[in-house]
Structure 1
Amino acid sequence: MSSAPPQPYVSWTDAALLDALATGSRGAFAALYERHWQRVFDLAHRKLKSREAAEEVVQELFAALWHKRQTQSIAQLDHYLLAATSHRVIGYIRAHRVRAHYADYCRTLPGEATRETEEALAVADLSAALQRGVEQLPEKSREVFQLSRLEHRSVAEIATRLHVTPKAVEYHLTKSLKLLRTYLREFTVAVLPLLLFMR
């Protein structure tokens, strides 16, 4: 997972790296990742007792750090990482506990009902993954996406509401769909028709 921290960022403070990250510096992001991923992984692994689950927490946390780089303010990175890791661990445990109980319930049902509930569970998983993806969109793209896809506003209505041009709305919609396709790559077969329809 780890490699040598990129130069010259290796000597920078966390605060300096966060400032550079806010401007879109991939080098600063890589340096922050190399400096802190092990701490996040170890904490998640101690609580979840699963390497795979801990790696998922690391990936989601740093993906969120990158996607929200221009919209969130972090005073103390250590405190932020501790709180964010704990929050994601709790979310992971809750989600898998609910899924396990639901799966157990499904196994008690007759064949046809089981198939229907398994399909419902798959849809629920997809919906939850889509929501996580939307939450990680850049602020403006997320706002445009929600107005368009959740509130069913037209491009013109969104442009008026956000005081931007229709072309800017279309740009953010295209950007949102592209980012969501990337985030939901594990659900490609199920999601692609949905995204194409939404387009």
Structure 2
Amino acid sequence: MSYKSHNDRELTDLLKSDDRLAYTEIYNRYHAALYIHAFKRLQSREECKDIVHELFTVLWIKRQEIDFKTTLSGYLYTSVRNKIFDLLAKQKLKVSYTQSIQQFAETGLVTTDHLVRQNQLKALIDQEIANLPERTRQIFELSRKKFLSHQEIAKELDLSEQTVKSTVNNALKVLRIKFGSLLFLSL
């Protein structure tokens, strides 16, 4: 069955019913255009690849939850635009945070500004953790905030240890994409 003949509405309906081929067709149809759209604004190949890859990862993970209030293309382009805005805001925060660390290293003084930035970064990280799918977030928080082992989490949630391990690793990958090395400094 050729998915190229399906319109976007049909593809989104198929996507919501877990059709991987519909997802593949959506990816093939839009990934290059979304990359170009992002590149016009960011001028960074790696960041654009990351944004588009993350968008399609979230699209698959949240396929049944997403409410396409506009067209599929409208949803995708708006998502890319929002991810670009998020990235630019985070880059600005990273620069500010880095300057604060540099100032501290040079002067040896802890400033209120530094503490504010630290709180802002923590809030961003908490927000991104809250944006994870519910089950992933639950497992991640048990691991990182309550310091339970994979075995303890598996027992508590009636899951296999491998499921817990892969879920934590996947959550870390998503967060690593968003925050890079700053995530590990704060966690």
User: Does the 8 Å CA contact 1:134/1:180 hold for their aligned counterparts?
Assistant: no
Partner of 2:104, secondary structure, is coil
The match for 2:13 is: 19
Q: Distance in 1 between matches of 2:2 and 2:130?
A: 33
Q: Distance in 2 between matches of 1:180 and 1:93?
A: 27
More deviation, 176-185/28-37: 176-185
TM-score (normalised: structure 1): 0.63
Structure 2 residue corresponding to 1:50, chosen from 36, 41, 44: 44
The match for 1:170 is: 158
Q: In the TM superposition, what is the alpha-carbon distance from 1:109 to its structure 2 partner?
A: 2.4
- Sort the Cα spacing of 1:11 and 1:179 in 2 relative to 1 into closer, same or farther, 3 A: farther
Structure 1 residue corresponding to 2:128, chosen from 132, 142, 148: 132
The match for 1:33 is: 27
User: Does the 8 Å CA contact 1:20/1:28 hold for their aligned counterparts?
Assistant: yes
Partner of 2:4, secondary structure, is helix
- Sort the Cα spacing of 1:88 and 1:176 in 2 relative to 1 into closer, same or farther, 3 A: farther
User: Does the 8 Å CA contact 2:130/2:137 hold for their aligned counterparts?
Assistant: no
Q: In the TM superposition, what is the alpha-carbon distance from 1:178 to its structure 2 partner?
A: 2.5
The match for 2:103 is: 108
Q: Deviations over 1:51-73 (max 9, x none)?
A: 11111110111111111111112
Q: In the TM superposition, what is the alpha-carbon distance from 1:20 to its structure 2 partner?
A: 1.3
User: Structure 1 vs Structure 2: percent identity of aligned residues?
Assistant: 21
User: Does the 8 Å CA contact 1:68/1:136 hold for their aligned counterparts?
Assistant: no
Partner of 1:46, secondary structure, is helix
Q: Which amino acid aligns with 1:96?
A: Q
The match for 1:97 is: 92
Q: Which amino acid aligns with 1:22?
A: K
The match for 1:73 is: 67
Structure 2 residue corresponding to 1:180, chosen from 160, 164, 168: 168
Q: Deviations over 1:23-80 (max 9, x none)?
A: 2121111110110111211111111111111111101111111111111121411211
Provide structure 2 residue ranges, at least 5 long, that are not aligned to the other structure: 147-154
Q: Distance in 2 between matches of 1:169 and 1:28?
A: 32
Q: In the TM superposition, what is the alpha-carbon distance from 1:133 to its structure 2 partner?
A: 5.7
Q: Deviations over 1:104-131 (max 9, x none)?
A: 22122237969xx8xx97xx58x83x85
Equivalent pairs, count:
162
TM-score (normalised: structure 2): 0.67
The match for 2:54 is: 60
User: Does the 8 Å CA contact 1:44/1:86 hold for their aligned counterparts?
Assistant: yes
Q: Which amino acid aligns with 1:20?
A: L
RMSD of Structure 2 on Structure 1 (CA): 3.8
Provide structure 1 residue ranges, at least 5 long, that are not aligned to the other structure: 1-6, 153-166, 195-199
Q: Which amino acid aligns with 1:135?
A: N
Q: In the TM superposition, what is the alpha-carbon distance from 1:171 to its structure 2 partner?
A: 4.0
Q: Which amino acid aligns with 2:167?
A: L
Q: Distance in 1 between matches of 2:12 and 2:4?
A: 13
